[in-house]
Every structure is written in structure tokens, then in C-alpha cells.
Amino acid sequence: MKAYRQNKNRVAIGLVVLIDADTGTLEARLNELASVLNQDKQKNREPNEAIAIFVPKRNIETWIHYLQGETVNEEDAYAKFENNEAVCKTAVEDLADRCYSQSLPEDAPRSLQAACGELQRLLPLLQP
């Protein structure tokens, strides 16, 4: 955050924070991040700052398995794609399009819906 804030008026930059919620909640993880900023005597994210916070519930694999057409929940742990990480590239590109056009299915995990909101918030802030 410090580096972003020190440079945001000199160069066109954004900051993406990606942190799993693990077995906690999205809200708890966001509160934890806010607490760390407070302890460091920094302000919370301002509406005009190009900062997006993505918090997959359980872990990022939950989203990837969902994007590949599986039925998922945000409580179970899903397998990693070790040595085959690129397998999700097409699904992630589709996700970006769906988030941008606000057409993410209603059955998407709640944390993924929140991430789409973060992306929609971020993109206009990155426009020159």
C-alpha cells in the first residue's frame, strides 16, 4: 500500500491484493487487512484508489474448479493443479469477460461474485 500510494500520482499503476479466506470469512479477512493498515498507521483504501482486493473463500482452487464447470462450495478444499497451472487460462479469460459484462452466473461462489465487483470497481480507475 505504501509503495502504491507513493507512486500513484507519478505513474499509472494499480494494486491487486489476492489472499485466501481459508476457513474464515471474506469479511473477517478484509477486517484483518484493515487492521494491519491501521497498525501501520495507514488509511483504509479510498474509493478513488486503484486497489482491488480478491479474497477466494477457502482458496483460489475453489474458483478455478467452479470456472471449469464443477459444482463447488466454499467450505471444501479443492485440488491444486500442480505442474498444470495453465489449465485454467481459458476459464480465467472467460471469467474476466463475464465480470466486465456483469454476466457472472448467480450460482457463482459468493467470494467470486465479490471479486467481480472489485474488478468492476478497479477498471474505470485505471483508465487514463
* pTM (predicted TM-score): 0.87
On average, the pLDDT of the chain sits at 92
Phi and psi of 18, rounded to 5°? -125, 115
Q: Kindly report, residue by residue over 48-96, the tens digit of the pLDDT.
A: 999 999 999 999 999 999 999 999 999 999 998 888 888 889 888 988 8
Torsion of CA 20, 22, 26, 27, to 10 degrees: -120
| Burial class of 91 by CB neighbour count within 10 A (0 to 12, 13 to 18, 19+) | middle
CB-based contact 1:36 (threshold 8 Å): no
